[in-house]
């Protein structure tokens, strides 16, 4: 079994350990979707992770899900990200940008635009807006001719990410956002080549990943997936067949990795590990669920064939998480009230472990 603290070769990068900081929305961006000096400090503080995956970054204005999130679709956004990636690299780290198109999980009050999706089916729940949570609106179903434009949005943002100094990108194909909506059997009611059969439902994901890999190279491209997820009310039929076929289609692209969430039975996840010939990042617990990833969960999945392990919430309150895991130091609890409140409290105010004299 691989050790969590062994180095790992990921594309052209050498990771000093197998700990990945998972993407986590923190809504600290400035107006215009600009990264800030506080964001540079936040990520640099956590640069001992083998790999950092940034918070979700919208690849287009219509792809923005929440207010206060950063983008990678303007020159100003690229310039704002450069101090962030420079700070991470100066501290010896490596960082991928997660490209997140919200699809139907958005609101006109946030973007000024009607959200789009594979079909005119609203998400379940309320979405954040500048004036507070509101019911998710009914999206406009994309015309067949429009779909490739939204797949290409990931590739355009990936080019900007590389220009901004990111080491690569992760497409957010999970948790009920646009790629996940196309994979879904209840958010995607299309009857054209993007809907219906498993082969058609995976088409948008394959086109988005292929365009991105062509734009910046497969070794700089990853994708996050949540097999069987129910986030935002999505449902998926034929989960094992759906994701096995998707991974088979992606296998020839030379991708940096696939990042799986524990959103279905372990038996299915292990089968998907067998189906995927490349690097696997495993997120061992349900995102936003009752448990946080710990050393035991990490070791369990390394034993099941994962190459890298994603830690989410534990990184918020523990910028020195790698050292705490390595030496068995206590993991500090996080103040959930500060997740999305903005400002530096609960963002820059967590410190490394303080040893008693």
User: pLDDT (tens digit, 9 = 90+) per residue, 347-356?
Assistant: 999 999 886 6
State residue 356's pLDDT score: 60
Q: Which of 127, 128, 139, 137 is nearest to 182 (CA)?
A: 139
Residue 190 falls inside a structural domain: yes
User: What is the number of domains present in the chain?
Assistant: 1
Residue 3 falls inside a structural domain: no
pLDDT surpassing 60 at residue 198: yes
Q: What is the pLDDT of residues 227-245, one digit of tens each?
A: 999 999 999 999 999 999 9
Residue 2 falls inside a structural domain: no
Among the residue ranges 96-100, 104-108, 246-250, 341-345, the one predicted with the least confidence is: 341-345
Residue 175 falls inside a structural domain: yes
pLDDT surpassing 60 at residue 48: yes
Percent of residues, the chain, with pLDDT higher than 70: 99
Residue 348 falls inside a structural domain: no
Q: Which of 43, 45, 44 is nearest to 23 (CA)?
A: 43
> What whole-number distance in Å separates Cα of residue 306 and Cα of residue 161?
27
The CATH number of the domain holding residue 86 is 3.20.20.70
State residue 76's pLDDT score: 98
State residue 110's pLDDT score: 97
**Over residues 60-69, mean pLDDT:** 98
**Over residues 163-173, mean pLDDT:** 98
> What whole-number distance in Å separates Cα of residue 10 and Cα of residue 300?
21
- In the chain, beta strands by DSSP E: 8-10, 13-15, 19-21, 51-57, 95-99, 116-117, 126-127, 134-135, 140-141, 168-173, 221-225, 257-261, 280-283, 308-311
State residue 1's pLDDT score: 56
Residue 28 falls inside a structural domain: yes
147: left (phi over 0), alpha (psi -120 to 50) or beta: alpha
**Over residues 263-277, mean pLDDT:** 96
Mean pLDDT of the chain: 96
Q: What is the pLDDT of residues 315-338, one digit of tens each?
A: 999 999 999 999 999 999 998 899
Q: What is the pLDDT of residues 100-114, one digit of tens each?
A: 999 999 999 999 999
Residue 311 falls inside a structural domain: yes
State residue 292's pLDDT score: 83
Please, which pLDDT band fits residue 193 given cuts at 50, 70 and 90? very high
Q: Domain range holding 289?
A: 8-338
pLDDT surpassing 80 at residue 357: no
**Over residues 135-163, mean pLDDT:** 98
Please, which pLDDT band fits residue 293 given cuts at 50, 70 and 90? confident
Among the residue ranges 58-72, 190-204, 291-305, the one predicted with the least confidence is: 291-305
**Over residues 7-26, mean pLDDT:** 97
State residue 354's pLDDT score: 81
Residue 357 falls inside a structural domain: no
Please, which pLDDT band fits residue 146 given cuts at 50, 70 and 90? very high
Q: Cα-Cα-Cα-Cα dihedral of 46, 48, 49, 52, to 10°? A: 50
- Within 164-276, residue ranges assigned H as helices are 178-183, 198-201, 203-216, 239-250, 266-275
Own/partner pairs, 243-250, CB within 8 angstroms, 24+ separation: 243/268, 243/272, 243/275, 244/271, 244/272, 244/275, 245/198, 245/199, 245/202, 246/183, 246/202, 246/205, 246/206, 247/272, 247/275, 247/276, 248/275, 249/202, 249/206, 250/206, 250/209, 250/223
**Over residues 55-68, mean pLDDT:** 98
- Residues acting as catalytic residues: 177
pLDDT surpassing 70 at residue 301: yes
């Amino acid at each position: 079994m691989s050790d969590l603290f062994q180095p790992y070769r990921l594309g052209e990068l050498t990771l000093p350990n197998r700990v990945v900081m998972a993407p986590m929305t923190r809504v600290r961006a400035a107006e215009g979707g600009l990264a800030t000096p506080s964001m540079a400090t936040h990520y640099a503080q956590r640069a001992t992770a083998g790999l950092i995956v940034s918070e979700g970054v919208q690849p287009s204005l219509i792809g923005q899900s929440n207010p206060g999130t950063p983008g990678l679709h303007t020159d100003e956004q690229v310039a704002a990200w450069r101090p962030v990636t420079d700070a991470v690299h100066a501290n010896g780290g490596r960082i991928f940008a997660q490209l997140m198109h919200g699809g139907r999980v958005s609101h006109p009050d946030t973007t000024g635009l009607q959200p789009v999706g594979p079909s005119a089916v609203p998400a379940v729940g309320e979405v954040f807006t500048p004036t507070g949570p509101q019911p998710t609106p009914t999206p406009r179903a994309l015309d067949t001719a429009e779909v490739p434009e939204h797949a290409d949005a990931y590739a355009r943002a990936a080019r900007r990410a590389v220009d901004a100094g990111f080491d690569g990108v992760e497409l957010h194909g999970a948790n009920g956002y646009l790629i996940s909506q196309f994979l879904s059997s209840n958010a995607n009611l299309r009857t054209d080549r993007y809907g219906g059969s498993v082969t058609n439902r995976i088409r948008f994901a394959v086109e988005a990943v292929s365009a991105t890999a062509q734009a910046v190279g497969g070794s700089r491209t990853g994708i996050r997936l949540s097999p069987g997820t129910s986030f935002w009310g999505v449902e998926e039929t034929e989960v094992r067949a759906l994701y096995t076929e998707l991974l088979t289609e992606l296998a020839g692209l030379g991708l940096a990795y696939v990042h799986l969430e524990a959103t279905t039975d372990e038996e299915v996840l292990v089968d998907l590990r067998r189906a995927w010939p490349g690097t696997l990042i495993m997120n061992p617990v349900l995102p936003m669920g009752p448990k946080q990833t710990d050393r035991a969960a990490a070791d369990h999945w390394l034993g099941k064939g994962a190459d890298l392990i994603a830690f989410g919430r534990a990184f918020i309150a523990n910028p020195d998480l790698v050292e705490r895991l390595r030496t068995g130091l206590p993991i500090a609890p996080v103040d959930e009230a500060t997740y999305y409140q903005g400002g530096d409290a609960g963002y820059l105010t967590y410190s490394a472990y303080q040893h008693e004299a």
